[in-house]
Amino acid sequence: MADLRIGIDVGGTNTDAVVLDADGRVIAKAKRPTTPEVTEGLRAALDAVLAELGNGREHVTRVMLGTTHATNAILERRGLGRVAVVRLGAPATTAVPPLSDWPDDLRKAVSAGEAIVPGGHYVDGREISPLDLDAVRRFLDGVRADAVAVTSVFSPADDGHERRVEELVRAEYGLPVSVSSEIGSLGLLERENATVLNAALYGVAAHVTDALVTALAERGLGERGRREQGRREQGQGAQGARGQGAQGARGQGAQGARGQGARPYLAQNDGTLMTLEHAARLPVSTIGSGPANSLRGAAYLSGVADAVVVDVGGTSTDLGVLAGGFPRESAAAVEIGGVLTNFRMPDILAIALGGGTVVRPHGLGPDSVGYRIVREALVFGGATATMTDAAVAAGRIPPGAEDWRDRLQGGRQGDMSEENADILESAVTRADRMVIDAVDRMTLGRTDRPLVAVGGGAFLLPDHIPGVSRVIRPEHAEVANAVGAAIALASGRVDTILPAGDSRAAAIESAKEEARARAVAAGADPAGVEIVDLLEVPLSYLSEPAVRVHVKAAGPLAR
């Protein structure tokens, strides 16, 4: 039972946890309500799967967490740090100062002050102005901040000025620095916004990682607990037995992992993982990890790499597209808490339809009974007709819940009146139409791809949906997002401008190398890193032909 992995996904309604064995089989799973103080739900789900494991918990080598902490902090303007915002670009860019497009309350909560100082580059690599470090000092001397965000014009092509400011701030002010070239791609305002949000989230990230590390340590899974356990076992002479127990090729790795304890990781929005050190630097990347995990989990559980994934939850249904096993990314800028940012996010279409969606005589939702479904839905003896009831009436029943149909007929409502039956039936028709339309939007006219149905409400979906080749309902689909967290790879990306002439090939090679290096920095095994995405876009109006290049590398986690 060597090398177990735990995946946890903190969603809006439920916190899911799964345990995968060395062969990638789901050997334990649990769903617990997400709590307002998110860590309680996390602990409950973790305890539930550990209880199923029994002694097996000793073999847990990795714990992967996907969480909504950062998103909630921004939406609720809670726990955010105060950020000194530095832009390097003067005299350019002064017509639109930093945070111009931020909602006032968020700006008030986050900004410790903003400055545009000389620095930055032209598209062709020349400096706009020599970097003025004294101007940076004068600005920082006048503000009280928890962190600094620095954004330089064209830093995705040349991050030199940003790095020098980073060094200065660390050395002379001892503050954490968020550097825009690490965070976003071209598009100054959107990249700057993401960089400032990232800096504001440092405290939130520390809180999450502390909570995770503490929860693991308390349960004897943490790195410290693991080391102590290792020493105890060593004292009892168990070392040799364990070493042999970890069979074959995995022996080496298992032994190594054992010395380190269960390593914690955080899931990011492209369906890959990062180490806690990496997450501490780039907390903004955890935003949107939920849908990414559910897409990756769906690919894993179904064995299909190219598909439409429909994740039906309690209040909403998320649709995404898998391309080569990874989420298709959104091409448009993404708004977070009223702020436009440009980091890559999965292309998700959310519709107001879930298991708890309230059914009315002439309509469907958009409100939902949410977690109260276990009391309020007709099948649970409640008095509210929900989509779950409508689905059950139509004979769509979750596996293992065959008695729901009887409960619907013979529940507190007594015999189902013809009128009520009609209402439920038309709700299913409406819901199907919503799903069919949404699927059509996501498939872009391609009808050869299958649809993978996941999430707690997947039973709502019909078996035949126009626009897809077939509907796949994999085992463990209800916890696909936690599975997605458990199987995630580590990745790195580069987004920059390169010459399109003779040096193009060499420049693209070096961008690939950089992406690989970043994947390794994020925790990937150098031996297993591959380039999984390469995008070239030619640019216009330049003296030298140039291309914008986006490269992504990903690989399995190093042990």
Residues that bind another protein (CB under 8 A): 89-97, 100-101, 122-124, 126, 128-129, 153-154, 186-189, 331-332, 340, 440-442, 444-445, 538-543, 548
Residue (89 or 457) nearer to another protein, CB:
89
Give min distance, CB of 282 to another protein, in A. 21
Helices (H) and strands (E) in the chain, counts: 18, 23
Give min distance, CB of 111 to another protein, in A. 15
Q: Which of 546, 453, 478 is nearest to 508 (CA)?
A: 546
Q: Which of 305, 304, 301, 324 is nearest to 24 (CA)?
A: 301
Distances (CA, A) of 381 to 72, 356, 368, 376, 427: 33, 14, 17, 7, 20
Residue (347 or 432) nearer to another protein, CB:
347
Residue (139 or 404) nearer to another protein, CB:
139
Residue (421 or 539) nearer to another protein, CB:
539
Please tell me the number of Cα atoms within 13 Å of 452 on its side-chain side: 30
Residue (26 or 547) nearer to another protein, CB:
547
Give min distance, CB of 548 to another protein, in A. 7
Give min distance, CB of 154 to another protein, in A. 6
Residue (186 or 460) nearer to another protein, CB:
186
- Chain center to CA of 284: 10
Give min distance, CB of 539 to another protein, in A. 5
Distance CA 390, CA 416 (A): 12
Which pair of tokens denotes residue 195? 């960089």
Identify the three-state secondary structure at position 361: coil
Residue (187 or 325) nearer to another protein, CB:
187
Those residues whose C-beta lies under 8 Å from the C-beta of residue 308, and which sit 6 or more positions away, are 319, 320, 321, 322, 439, 442, 443, 449, 450, 451, 452, 468
Residue (180 or 384) nearer to another protein, CB:
180
Give min distance, CB of 94 to another protein, in A. 4
Give min distance, CB of 313 to another protein, in A. 23
Residue (127 or 228) nearer to another protein, CB:
127
- In DSSP notation, 124-181 reads TS-BSS---HHHHHHHHHT---SEEEEEETTTTT--HHHHHHHHHIIIII---EEEGG
Distance CA 107, CA 482 (A): 34
Give min distance, CB of 455 to another protein, in A. 22
Give min distance, CB of 342 to another protein, in A. 9
Which pair of tokens denotes residue 439? 């699927």
Give min distance, CB of 180 to another protein, in A. 11
Those residues whose C-beta lies under 8 Å from the C-beta of residue 328, and which sit 6 or more positions away, are 320, 321, 322, 346, 347
Give min distance, CB of 159 to another protein, in A. 13
Distance CA 179, CA 519 (A): 18
Q: What count of other Cβ atoms lies within 10 Å of the Cβ of residue 316?
A: 21
Those residues whose C-beta lies under 8 Å from the C-beta of residue 518, and which sit 6 or more positions away, are 491, 492, 493, 494, 553
Contact yes or no for 468/451 (Cβ under 8 A): yes
Distance CA 489, CA 557 (A): 6
Distance CA 468, CA 555 (A): 30
Q: What count of other Cβ atoms lies within 10 Å of the Cβ of residue 76?
A: 11
